[in-house]
């Protein structure tokens, strides 16, 4: 007995799993014999679920990876599983990951870094949350339920994802792994859009188009493809963001096959952006190239970026080159001030400007766009689309909230720029931060015409990228120390020889 006890103690993790499996199999056989096969099959997933949770508690990074992957597909899955709400699903998953982190801490085998949560990003996200909570007292806010529904995308996810990512990401190899996951996910998204374009939409996509999406996706300039994303605007901008980041990451990584993989992924993302027909997404590569050139502090790169941007702008604005292609025609309208949709946006913003004159703290979170009809029937703002992330923030949180929000966004890229210029020494870490700052800056500009920040899946990716920027000094220190220790070992070996 003493030997058995010692064995169990020294091999507790494996023994627990084996005992658990044996007991589960015996219980499953008993249930099938007494209650039938279907109930037995249903219950058979319970041990697997418990085992998965057990492994996730032991390795929270896997939990973050699973959350990241599910975030990418949740909007697309909701078209096939109509009872699946992307928001509620992500709420549950985020809560589960938080519970996994807490259980990991309580287990004594702590795999998270508590000190990481003390950083400028989480502090800024917390300030933004406090301001948004304060707006519950706004007398123009008719519904707390409306506030909560919208506050998740506006502020709550920002703080929670920043905290979760900061706690779990400890090594730069984990950042590399997340970049590879994101690249693979992006390739699947482009593949799905390619299938939509060349083989047609499936039954669930046609149902969504007939119900609501057709008005903005099947238009006179052609069909806009949306992949797994909520809509084509989100797909075009999100995939452009990925393309910019991967294009610059390819310049950073030393491994030849990694370079080839990320270059291929970046090119695929550029194709995805084009077939989305999202004009605002053009800002992402243009701005991204310009910002990267500034961050690189290389005059030749800056000149090439300026020339390439000016050339692309000139071709789209002042020529008819490529007009035979429906997607080029669609992109060209982004530079046409007489475009009908552009005029409608300007008119809507003028109406909102008049309405917002006496509302410095906004109309209330959840009270913009058509959804406000749920909380206040025939509400004036429900008839006016915002068509912009910044207009949405302005309407819901006021000019005070917009200034605070813009200040936080500028602080994030400003801090990343400071790190690149003055702090980071390792080539790979610096390159990843440069890539993220460039891509995020492009999304900032694109968000003027698209409500993308705070939406799945791009919002999650943005917040994860911001967290990586703020944790980069620790990753830089890790790799520099590793490089120095290898150098010392090499010198010691040479002396011995």
Task: Give the per-residue pLDDT at 4.
Answer: 43
With 70 as the cut, is the pLDDT of residue 254 above it?
Answer: yes
Q: Which two tokens stand for residue 238?
A: 């999100």
Range with lowest mean pLDDT among 31-45, 96-110, 253-267: 31-45
Task: Give the per-residue pLDDT at 7.
Answer: 43
Element (H, E) at 219: strand 218-219
Which pairs count as long-range contacts for 85-92, CB under 8 Å and 24+ apart, including other chains? 86/230, 86/456, 87/149, 87/152, 87/153, 90/157, 90/456, 91/152
With 80 as the cut, is the pLDDT of residue 344 above it?
Answer: no
CB-based contact 412:443 (threshold 8 Å)? no
With 60 as the cut, is the pLDDT of residue 378 above it?
Answer: no
Percent of the chain at pLDDT above 90? 47
- Give residue 9's pLDDT band: very low, low, confident or very high (50, 70, 90): very low
Percent of the chain at pLDDT above 70? 81
Mean pLDDT, range 1-22, rounded to an integer: 52
Task: Give the per-residue pLDDT at 161.
Answer: 96
In order of 133, 135, 227, the CA distances from 197 in angstroms are 43, 44, 10
- Give residue 414's pLDDT band: very low, low, confident or very high (50, 70, 90): very high
Q: Which two tokens stand for residue 299?
A: 């005059």
**Helix, coil or strand: residue 497:** coil
With 90 as the cut, is the pLDDT of residue 219 above it?
Answer: no
| pLDDT tens profile 281-295 | 888 998 999 999 899
- Polymer length in residues for the chain: 497
Task: Give the per-residue pLDDT at 277.
Answer: 83
Task: Give the per-residue pLDDT at 270.
Answer: 95
Q: What is the DSSP string of 159-201?
A: HHHHHHHHHH--SHHHHHHHHHHHHHHHHHHHHHHHHHHHH--
Task: Give the per-residue pLDDT at 483.
Answer: 81
CB-based contact 368:377 (threshold 8 Å)? no
Most confidently modeled of 37-41, 44-48, 323-327, 475-479?
475-479
Most confidently modeled of 195-204, 210-219, 459-468?
459-468
Q: Dihedrals φ, ψ of 235, to 5°?
A: -65, -50
> For residues 356 and 338, what is the distance between their CA atoms, to the nearest angstrom?
26
Q: What is the number of helices (H) and of strands (E) in the chain?
A: 20, 2
> For residues 204 and 215, what is the distance between their CA atoms, to the nearest angstrom?
16
With 70 as the cut, is the pLDDT of residue 478 above it?
Answer: yes
Task: Give the per-residue pLDDT at 8.
Answer: 42
Q: Residue for token digits 């799945």?
A: 456
> For residues 187 and 180, what is the distance between their CA atoms, to the nearest angstrom?
11
Task: Give the per-residue pLDDT at 310.
Answer: 79
| pLDDT tens profile 119-145 | 999 999 999 999 999 998 877 766 777
CB-based contact 322:328 (threshold 8 Å)? yes
Nearest CA to 283 among 430, 410, 418, 444? 444
From the number of C-beta atoms within 10 Å of its C-beta (0-12, 13-18, 19+), residue 273 rates as: buried
Q: Residue for token digits 């950073």?
A: 252
- Give residue 363's pLDDT band: very low, low, confident or very high (50, 70, 90): confident
Q: Bigger pLDDT: 158 or 379?
A: 158
> For residues 242 and 187, what is the distance between their CA atoms, to the nearest angstrom?
10
With 60 as the cut, is the pLDDT of residue 376 above it?
Answer: yes
Q: Which two tokens stand for residue 258?
A: 């990694």
In order of 138, 407, 438, 454, the CA distances from 470 in angstroms are 33, 16, 15, 19
With 60 as the cut, is the pLDDT of residue 296 above it?
Answer: yes
Q: Bigger pLDDT: 382 or 210?
A: 210
Residues 6+ apart with CB under 8 A from 246: 179, 183, 186, 262, 263, 265, 266, 269, 435
Task: Give the per-residue pLDDT at 5.
Answer: 46
Q: Bigger pLDDT: 239 or 113?
A: 239
Listed by start position, the domains of the chain span 1-58, 114-496
> For residues 478 and 488, what is the distance between their CA atoms, to the nearest angstrom?
16
> For residues 145 and 375, what is the distance between their CA atoms, to the nearest angstrom?
8
Neighbour tally for 443: CB within 10 Å: 28
Q: Residue for token digits 């025609």?
A: 329
Task: Give the per-residue pLDDT at 22.
Answer: 63
**Mean pLDDT (the chain, rounded):** 84
With 90 as the cut, is the pLDDT of residue 447 above it?
Answer: yes
């Amino acid at each position: 007995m003493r030997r058995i006890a010692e064995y169990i103690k020294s091999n507790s993790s494996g023994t627990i799993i084996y005992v658990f499996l044996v007991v589960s199999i015996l219980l499953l056989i008993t249930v099938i014999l007494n209650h039938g096969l279907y109930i037995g099959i249903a219950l058979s997933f319970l041990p697997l679920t418990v085992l998965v949770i057990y492994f996730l508690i032991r390795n929270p990074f896997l939990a973050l990876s699973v959350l990241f992957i599910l975030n990418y597909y949740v909007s697309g899955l909701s078209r096939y599983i109509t009872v699946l709400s992307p928001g509620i699903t992500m709420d549950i998953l985020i809560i589960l990951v938080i519970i996994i982190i807490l259980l990991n801490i309580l287990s004594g085998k702590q795999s998270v870094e508590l000190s990481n949560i003390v950083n400028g990003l989480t502090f800024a996200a917390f300030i933004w949350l406090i301001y948004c909570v304060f707006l519950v007292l706004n007398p123009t806010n008719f519904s707390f339920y409306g506030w909560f529904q919208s506050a998740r995308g506006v502020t709550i996810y920002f703080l929670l994802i920043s905290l979760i990512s900061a706690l779990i990401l400890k090594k730069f190899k984990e950042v590399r792994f997340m970049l590879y996951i994101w690249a693979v996910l992006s390739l699947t998204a482009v593949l799905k859009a390619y299938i939509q374009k060349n083989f047609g939409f499936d039954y669930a996509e046609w149902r969504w188009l007939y119900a609501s999406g057709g008005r903005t996706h099947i238009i006179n300039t052609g069909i806009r493809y949306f992949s797994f994303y909520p809509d084509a605007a989100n797909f075009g901008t999100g995939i452009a963001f990925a393309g910019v980041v991967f294009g610059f990451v390819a310049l950073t990584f030393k491994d030849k096959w990694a370079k080839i993989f990320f270059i291929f992924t970046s090119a695929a993302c550029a194709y995805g952006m084009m077939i989305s027909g999202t004009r605002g997404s053009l800002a992402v590569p243009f701005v991204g190239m310009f910002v990267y050139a500034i961050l690189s502090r290389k005059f030749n790169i800056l000149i090439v970026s300026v020339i390439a941007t000016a050339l692309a702008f000139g071709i789209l604005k002042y020529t008819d080159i490529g007009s035979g292609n429906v997607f080029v025609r669609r992109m060209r309208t982004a530079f046409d001030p007489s475009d009908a949709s552009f005029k409608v946006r300007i008119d809507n913003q003028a109406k909102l400007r008049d309405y917002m004159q006496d509302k410095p703290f906004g109309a209330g979170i959840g009270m913009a766009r058509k959804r406000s009809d749920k909380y206040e029937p025939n509400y004036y703002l429900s008839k006016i689309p915002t068509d912009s992330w910044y207009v949405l923030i302005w309407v819901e949180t006021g000019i005070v909230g917009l200034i605070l929000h813009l200040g936080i966004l500028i602080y994030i890229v400003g801090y990343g720029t400071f790190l690149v210029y003055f702090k980071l020494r390792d080539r790979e870490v610096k390159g990843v931060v440069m890539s993220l700052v460039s891509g995020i800056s492009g999304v900032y500009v694109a968000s003027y015409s698209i409500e993308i920040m705070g939406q799945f899946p791009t919002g999650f990716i943005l917040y994860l990228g911001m967290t990586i920027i703020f944790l980069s000094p620790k990753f830089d220190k890790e790799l520099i120390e590793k490089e120095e220790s290898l150098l010392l070992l090499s010198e010691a070996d040479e002396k011995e020889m």
